[in-house]
Structures are given as structure tokens and as C-alpha cells.
Structure 1
Amino acid sequence: MKKEHALSWAALVTVWILWGSTYLGISMAVETIPPFLMAGTRFLVAGALMFAVVAPRHASGERRLTWPHIRSATTVGALMLVGGNGLLSAGEEHLDSGLAALIVATVPVWMVLINALVTRTRIPATVVAALVLGTAGIGILVGGPGGNVNIGAVIVVVIASALWATGSVYARSAPLPSHPMVAASTQMIAAGVMLLALGVVRGEPARLDVAEISGASLAGLAWLVFAGSIVAFTAYMYANSTLPNDAVATYAYVNPVIAVVLGVALGGETIGANVYLGGAVIVGAVALIVTGRSKGRPSNQRPDADAPAPSASPGPPADANHTRRR
């Protein structure tokens, strides 16, 4: 029993680090690879590899994919991975990875707000307070002391966060495949195709010089495919099935801290007073939502209903499926 408990916590720490690292991975990858082509390649490769492993056992016979499954997976992929992670990748062309991660940390707040609007329920005072705090935190990141931030890129990442949250809320009632890894891989494949198509429409192939792709960008892309989209997702699923909800939910505010630390240590990013102040306010807003919702649910209930992920990263939050990803 102690061994299983230790393994569960090892899985959660893996999620903290790997999902926190996807922001730096994106930043490295988009240095020499256009963002939508990069994200499309990431999800198409990761989804295809995952589907090849799990489909023979979990997507055949009576559990084969149906049209409603494919339609729902495509919708979730479009919202979370194309709108969420794709826009996050585009935003990170002009933002430090740690700063982008702090903006994406507002996703749990957006999710609870959007869920209240969709279900037409009263918006709790804690949600209003968290939304005000989160908005204030973003404002401090943009215009606080020492802040010199690309406002357009910030707006893109805020939209990405809202789209990730919308997809997460939709996925709670969508007819998705019963096995989570089949659902995740189907969403990633659909999103990969859409992201590549969007990249072509935006003229990104003309910007792509294969000979100029750096080793750092290739390393970042490989990290996103394997560590961010496959290993971390598997670790998350194990932690989510064996640990209490309030423990698993800590990823929502640990990930951005990890992202900031790695951005400074490995990415050469700098931290100004605006990041300290804005980040503290945003993490406080997320803690207000996560701890409040955790107290309202039994500890063994899945946390999917209240918070995402990148992410794949957007992810958003930076990766893929109807549970919380980054």
C-alpha cells in the first residue's frame, strides 16, 4: 500500500514538472518552426503513436469509434488544442514562457465561470472574486512595475485560455470514447490535422526553412510529443485515479511556478516585479477556485469538472483530452 501511495505521488510530481516544462518546450519549438505547423506536428505524431498502442484493445469490437465519438473528439480538439494550444503557441512567439504560463493559470477560473453560464446557475461570489483577481493579475503582468509586454500576444493567450476552458466544459457531457487514452489520441489526431491545415492557410510553409530549424526547436518539439503529450498524460491518469482530488488539483498552480523557474534557469528569461506581483495574484485566484471546489466534492470524485490543461501545455492550458491537460 505504501509503495502504491509513493508511486501515485511520483506520478503527480511528474505531472507538475513535465506539464510545467511544456511552456518552455513551446517557446523553444516556435523559435524556428511556425507555431501552427509545430503544434499540428506535435499532436498528430503524439496522437498517432498513442492511438496505435491503445486502439487494438480499447477501440475495437463493441468499443470501436462511432461517428458521435469522432464528431465530439473533433469539437473538443478544435476548442482545446487548436484554439487553446495553437493560440498559446502563437502567443509564445512574443511572450516569455513563464509569463504565458501564468496567464494560462487562469483556466480553472474560466472553467467554473463558463460552466455556470452554460448551466444557468448562480455564479458564486468566490468565482467573481477569483475572476476579478485573475484579471487584475493579468493587468499587472502587462502594465505593472517593470512590465514591457506585447499586449496583442497577451490577448491571444487569454483567448486561448477561454477556448481551452470552453472545450473542457463541453467535453464533460460530450459522447467521447469510454477509454480516456482513446479519447485523448482521437482528439490529438483531429487537432493535428486542423492545426496543419490552419498553418497552411496562414502561409506558414513559406516561413518554414527546414535547413534553418535549430536543434533547440527540434528538442522542444520532441519534448512536447513524448514528455508533454504521452508520458505526462499517462502519469496524470494514474495520479488522478489514485490520489484525492485536492492533491491532484495542485497541478493547476504548481505548473506555472515550474514554468517560470524553468524559463529563467534554462530559457534565459528574466523576472520583473510585474511577474512576481501579477503571478502571485493569479496563483491566489486559482487557489481560491481550486480549494473552494475541492471542499465541495468528495475526495474520490474526479476533478475533471472544475479545472483543465498545455498542455499540451493552452493547456492551455499545454495537451489533450476531456480531463485537465497542459
Structure 2
Amino acid sequence: MHLGGYSVTFFSYAAIYLIWGSTFLAIRLAVDSIPPLLMMGVRCVAAGALLLAWAAARGERTGWRAWRQAIVAGALMFGCAYGALAWAETRLASGVAALFVATLPLWMTLFDCAQRRETPAARTVVGLAVGLAGVVLLLARTGTTTFALIPAAVVILGEVAWAAGALYARRLPQTLALNAGMPLLTGGVFLIAASYAAREFRQFDPHAVSVVSAAALVYLIVFGSIVAFSAYAWLMQVAPAARVGTHAYVNPLIAVVLGCTVAGEPFTAAIAAASLVIAVGVALVLAS
């Protein structure tokens, strides 16, 4: 399928590469004055509701079985992964958080092999080891002002949850609006419930939300969730999981550049070295 001479596949990859790369900074700006779990919950519920309204207007319907699957996928991909990232970015630079997210293709490949009951190739195993070495290199800097061990581990565990949820989400309805909207909505409800349990509502003052945080949240809803995740959901139906996971190559680069130029975040030699090691590990996995 083509649109204006360019393939839908090209635009879909561009969306998950460029837009998702910019969302790390947007998240950092949003959580400056909005509690992290609440912010992510509002983002996902709003985006999911809009997509499902679009699906309903088109006459698309689904059953309870699909909703059960969406609850699992949404809890893993958004409740766990997005919640973990939002919380961690109150303690991590956005570019550094993106580097830990760059391990996603490693977990996607591991789960994909387990799902297919295949033994990973030797190059895949080497790539996994190299990628994890890059993570260790970043973690070795724990205790500096740049990041700490606990939020780093939370981000990585969130990516493990995303990988499991993304592969599970392949069972969802094939229509784009339902495929993207259902897990967004269910994951958003999960996040808002977690926000309530964490007592974020008691600390939240709507009048204290800055214009920058509000604008960042709108950007995350429209572009980060509706546009980019719809593209991701479609690609996961038509392309290999490992190839779709290559957005983790480009996202950290964009996140680091934006973090340094817009937010004044530090970029050290250790971060540069870890970026290279993680990229090599992911490249080995994807080439196997």
C-alpha cells in the first residue's frame, strides 16, 4: 500500500523512530509539574478513547475475548513500561533513560525465540551479551548526579514487560484503531489506578501545572500515542518483531540530542561509550 508515492511502511517507521525519540524529552517536561503515573494514565486513556471512538464511528466492533487480551497487553506495555519510564524520568536524564530503553530489541528477540520455541543463534547470544555489557557500563556510573541504580533497573524491567506485551498484543483484532486503542485504554486505566494507590492525587494541584507540562502532555497524547503507537501496532502485524524493534536504535540518539540541546542535560564519555556498546549488541541481534 502506498500513499503519495511513499510507502505506508516508510511513514510508520519514521513515526516510531522520530516521534518516539522526541517523547523522552516530552515526558521529562510533563512530569515537571504532573505526577508521573497520573500523567501517563491521562495520556493513554485520552489516546485510547479517541482511537476507539474512531473505530466505533467506522463500525468496528470486538468481543470480550479481545478485551481480555487487551487488558494483559495494556497492563504490560503501558501500565508497566510507560509507568516505569515516567517514574524513572523524575530521577534520570531523558537521554540516559532512552539508552536503557535501547535494550528493548534484546528482550523482543529473546521472547520471540521462546514463543517460537527456537534456540537463539550464536550471533544473537553474543549480541545479547554485548548489549547487556553496555547496560552494565551505564550502571557502573551509579551514584553520580546523572542517574541512579534503582530508576535504571525500573526502566529495564519496564522494557522487559513491553517486549512481552508487544508480542502478546499480536493476538488483538487486526483493525488498526482497535489494535492500538484497546491496550492504550486498558493500560491507561491501570496507570490511573496505580496513581491513586501511590497517593499521587493527594499531592497533585491542577492549578500548579505549567504551560510547558500541559503542552508536553498534549504532544504525548496526539503524536506519541495516537500517531506513533498506531504506526507501531500496524508494523507489529506486518513486519518481524526484531525489525520493528530497531526504533530503539534511533530513539536514544534523538533523545540524547534533544536532551542536550533543549534541556541542557549532560553528555559524558561514559554515556557515549555505553551508547556505542548497546548499539553494537542490538546490531548483532538484528543481523542474526
TM norm structure 2 = 0.89
Residue 179 of structure 2: aligned partner = 183
Query: Are residues 240 and 66 of structure 1, via their aligned partners in 2, closer, same or farther at CA, if it must alter by over 3 Å?
Result: closer
Contact 1:147/1:274, CA 8 A, preserved across alignment: no
Kept after mapping to 2: 8 A contact 1:107/1:162: yes
1:221 aligns with 2:222: no
Taking a change above 3 Å as real, the CA distance of residues 117 and 152 of structure 1, as seen in their structure-2 partners, is same
Q: What's 1:162 paired with?
A: 160
- Structure 2 runs not aligned, ≥5 long: none
- 1:119 shift after superposition: 4.3
Q: CA deviation at 1:23?
A: 0.8
Residue aligning to 1:152: 150
Within 1, Cα distance between the matches of 2:160 and 2:214? 29
2:13 corresponding residue in structure 1: 12
Higher helix fraction (1 or 2): 2
Correspondence 1:131-150 to 2 at 5 A:
131-144=128-141, 148=145, 149-150=147-148
- In the alignment, which of 200, 203, 211 is matched to residue 199 of structure 2? 203
Residue 91 of structure 1, CA deviation: 0.9
Paired with 1:21 and 1:7, the residues of 2 have a C-alpha distance of 21
Q: 3-state SS of the aligned residue for 2:58?
A: helix
Secondary structure of 1:121 counterpart: coil
Q: Deviations for 1:70-106, whole angstroms, at most 9, x for unmatched residues? A: 0000100001110111111111111111111111111
Contact 1:145/1:274 (8 A) holds in 2: no
Counterpart of 2:278 (choices 264, 277, 282) is: 282
Partner of 2:111: 114
What is the CA-CA distance between 1:285 and the residue it aligns to? 1.4
Give yes or no for contact 1:116–1:123 (8 Å, CA) kept in 2: yes
1:272 and 2:268 matched: yes
Q: Tell me the distance in 2 between the aligned counterparts of 1:214 and 1:11.
A: 32
For residues 166 and 231 of structure 2, the distance between their equivalents in structure 1, rounded to whole angstroms, comes to 19
1:52 counterpart SS class: helix
CA distance in structure 2 between the partners assigned to 1:18 and 1:38 by the alignment = 18
Q: Look up the equivalent residue of 1:165 and give its one-letter code.
A: A
Which residue is 1:127 aligned to?
A: 124
Native 8 Å contact 1:141 1:147 kept in 2: no
Distance 1:233 1:168, change over 3 A: closer
Equivalent positions of 1:19-30 (< 5 A) are 19-30=20-31
2:53 corresponds to? 52
Contact 2:105 2:242 in 1 (8 A): no
Q: Distance in 2 between matches of 1:40 and 1:234?
A: 17
Counterparts in 2 of 1:48 and 1:86: CA distance versus 1, 3 Å:
same
Counting aligned pairs with the same residue, the percent is 37
The answer to whether the aligner puts 1:69 opposite 2:69 as a matched pair is no
Aligned residues between the structures: 286
Q: Is the 8 A contact 2:243 2:286 kept in 1?
A: no
- 1-structure distance, mates of 2:28, 2:36: 10
Would the aligned equivalents of 2:128 and 2:285 in 1 still touch at CA under 8 Å? no
Q: Which amino acid aligns with 2:153?
A: I
How many Å separate the matches in 2 of 1:248 and 1:131? 17
What are the Cα deviations for residues 200-236 of structure 1, in whole angstroms up to 9, with x where unaligned? 0111111212222112211111110011111223555
Residue in 2 aligned with 1:308? none
Q: Secondary structure at the match of 1:271?
A: coil
- Unaligned 5+ runs, structure 1: 293-326
Q: What is the CA distance between 1:14 and its match in structure 2?
A: 3.8
1:192 and 2:193 matched: no
Take 2:45 and 2:284, find their aligned partners in 1: how far apart are those partners? 36
Distance across 1 between alignment mates of 2:232 and 2:165: 19
- Report if the CA contact (8 A) 1:58-1:182 is conserved: no
* 8 Å contact kept, 2:98–2:252: yes
Instruction: Quote the offset at 1:243 in angstroms.
Output: 9.3
CA–CA distance in structure 2, aligned partners of residues 74 and 85 of structure 1: 15
TM-score (norm 1): 0.80
